[in-house]
Structure 1
Amino acid sequence: MSFTVDATHTLPASIEVSAWNGHACVPVRGASVEWATVSGTPTVITFDPVRTSRLRLDLTSRHPGAADGAQRIVAFEAR
């Protein structure tokens, strides 16, 4: 997942990953985030293998309500 970082966009403060178990989204195990250091380069999110039809990512703003509090995802790849 790659983010734009500029005057109005920052990296999230946190990312939480959940997987659909057929009834609800539940947090994945072993999640870790390797944050990008440059705009547009990949932030790598890893977690223990899971079989699911849906992934959910909850992003928390570093600056909620501020001019630079938005996040922009420019690329997303799941493997």
Structure 2
Amino acid sequence: MDYALLISRLGNQIREKRMNRGLTQAQLAELAGLTRYKIIAVEKGTLSVGMIAYARMLAALDCELAVIPAAMPTLEELGGLFE
């Protein structure tokens, strides 16, 4: 499994949680003690974001990270790898 795909999936899941809670990126940034730019980087799947930023965002969303077997990439995800 490509690590960039895993980071992308995590960013998408965090974005979904944020939106389901009715939070803007700025509001989540304030709750997590991060900048809005860091929230954007995580949601975009930027590879250079440190684990502490993920931990702070997950804590602000009252979520935790669980390790599960990776699912096969979807056709949409595969297409995104070639952009």
TM-score when normalising by structure 1: 0.22
Work out which structure has the larger RCO, using CA pairs closer than 8 Å and 6 or more positions apart in sequence: 1
TM-score when normalising by structure 2: 0.21
Structure in which a larger fraction of residues adopt strand:
1
